[in-house]
Amino acid sequence: MSRRLHIEVFRYNPLDPNSEPHMQSFYVNEYDSMTLFIALNIIRDEQDPTLQFDFCCRAGICGSCGMVINGRPGLACHTQTRDLPDHIVLHPLPVFKLIGDLSVDTGTWFRDAGARIEAWVHNDHEQFDPKAEEVRMENDLANEIFELDRCIECGCCVSACGTARMREDFLGATSIARVARFYLDPRDERNEENYYQVIGNDQGVFGCMGLLGCEDVCPKHIPLQDQLGIMRRMLAIHSVKGILPKRVLEKLQHKGCCHESH
């Protein structure tokens, strides 16, 4: 069973003028149920204390440890070494600003995207009445909204997106799925025109080229491309309102988190 893993890690410290981007090899003995979280910590504890990487919950819930593992963006903490060959190559996520080695700045990127799509429920927040009963909602709808709230903002989908790699102002599947979450939520009072202003452009939903990288790497298995499709169709229809007859448009319209049958 016990293999000796050859782990090749991208090293670069942008703050050190003498640092050159390069790959560095480490060797680690594999144990049962070993994950990349365990392996990288062994490397840092025993071989190189300056190695930079990010872990937080180490349980696949927080999204800190996105990195490119043998070419595919994924979460290191829930990648078991037994599922990988004995030569493992680790790169930082592209698109995001490199902090050092495997560590990238996703926080700034996501906050910027959040501000651009105005990622909050738009209603009159001051109007909350502490004595009143909560506004009712169907449980199925609550579940659908939560389905999209499960995004952990690990950045894997953005790194796996060809458009995002080419054009740094592209909002990515994660942001558009976030808008889809608000579109689904009756508490958000924005209308289609409001959403159009936010993502009805080449930086938003019309920039997507349907490469499906986002959906294929999403560690939470969120149906991202489906959301992109729903939003694209909604906003495309919105843009030709008044040209095509209303009845045709309504037929094409489609809302929901997961797919109802066509």
Partner 1 sequence: MDASTLTLHVRKNGAGVGRLDVMQMLSGVLLIVFLWAHLMLVSSVLISPKLMNAIAWFFETTYMAQVGGPLIGLLIFAHFLLAARKMPWRAQETNAFVKHSVMMHHKDTWLWLAQVGTALLILVMAATHMWVVLTDLPITAAKSAARIQSGTWLPFYLILLPLAEIHVGIGFYRIGVKYGYITKANRKWYQRLENYMMGGFITIGLLTLIRFLFLTV
Partner 2 sequence: MQIIYSDLLCIGAGLAGERVAVEAAKAGFNVTCLSIVPPRRSHSSAAQGGMQAALGNAIMGDGDTPDVHFADTVKGSDWGCDQEVARIFADTAPIVMREVAHWGVPWNRVEAGVHTYYKGGKPFEAEEKLEKHGLIHARAFGGTAKWRTCYTADGTGRSVLNTLDSMCLRYEVGIHDRTQAETLIHDGENCLGAIVRCLKTGELKAYLATATLIATGGYGRIYKATTNAVICDGGGQIAALDTGLVPMGNMEAIQFHPTGTVPTDILVTEGCRGDGGTLLDVNEYRFMPDYEPEKAELASRDVVSRRMQEHIRKGLGVKSPYGDHLWLDIRHLGEKHITTKLREVYDICTNFLGVNPIHDLIPVRPTQHYSMGGIRTNRDGAAYGLKGLFSAGESACWDMHGFNRLGGNSLAETVVAGRYVGKKIVEFLKGHTVDFKQSAINDAHAKVAARIMEMTKSSSKQESAIQLRDEMHSTMMDNVGIFRNGKDLQKAVDTLDELIDRSKNIKLQGTAIGFNPEISLALRIPGMLKLAQCTAYGALMRTESRGAHTREDFPERNDKDWLNRTLAYWKEGSTRPELKYEDASPYFEIPPGERGYGGGKIIAADIPEEKLRLPKNSAEKKKAKQTKKAS
Window 217 to 236, contacts with partner 1 (CB under 8 A): 223, 225-226, 228-230, 232-233, 235-236
Footprint of partner 1 on residues 159-218 (CB under 8 A)? 160, 162-163, 165-167, 196-197, 200-202, 206-213, 215-216
Strands across the sheet containing 4-11: 22-29, 4-11, 87-91, 66-69, 72-75
Residue 111 touches partner 1, criterion: CB under 8 A? no
Residue 59 in contact with partner 1, rule: CB under 8 A: no
Here the tokens at position 61 are 């819930």
Number of residues counted as binding partner 1 (CB under 8 A): 43
Question: How far apart are alpha carbons 148 and 224 in whole angstroms?
Answer: 9
SS3 content of the chain, % helix, strand, coil (to 5): 40, 15, 45
**Residue 219 Cα to chain centre, angstroms:** 9
Q: Which of 43, 241, 233, 204 is nearest to 119 (CA)?
A: 204
Closer CB to partner 1, residue 65 or residue 222?
222
Beta-carbon neighbour count of residue 81 at 10 Å? 20
Does residue 33 touch partner 2 according to CB under 8 A? yes
| 9/23 Cα distance (integer angstroms) | 5
CB 201 within 8 A of CB 175: no
Check: CB of residue 74 under 8 Å from CB of residue 157.
no
Stretch that binds partner 2, among 2-10, 147-155, 161-169, 192-200 (CB under 8 A): 147-155
Q: Give min distance, CB of 259 to partner 1, in A.
A: 5
Q: How big is the CA angle at 180 (ends 126 and 214), to the nearest 5 degrees? A: 135
Number of helices (H) and strands (E) in the chain: give both, helices first: 10, 7
> What's the closest the beta carbon of residue 31 comes to partner 1, in angstroms?
29
Site string for partner 2, 63-102 (x = CB under 8 A): xx-------------x-x------------------xx--
Residues that bind partner 1 (CB under 8 A): 68, 71-72, 91, 94, 160, 162-163, 165-167, 196-197, 200-202, 206-213, 215-216, 223, 225-226, 228-230, 232-233, 235-236, 238-241, 254, 259, 262
User: Residue numbers of the site for partner 2 (CB under 8 A)?
Assistant: 13-16, 19, 32-33, 35, 44-45, 48-52, 54-64, 78, 80, 99-100, 105-108, 110-111, 114-115, 119-121, 123, 125-126, 128, 130, 132-139, 141-143, 145-146, 149-150, 152-153, 185, 187-188
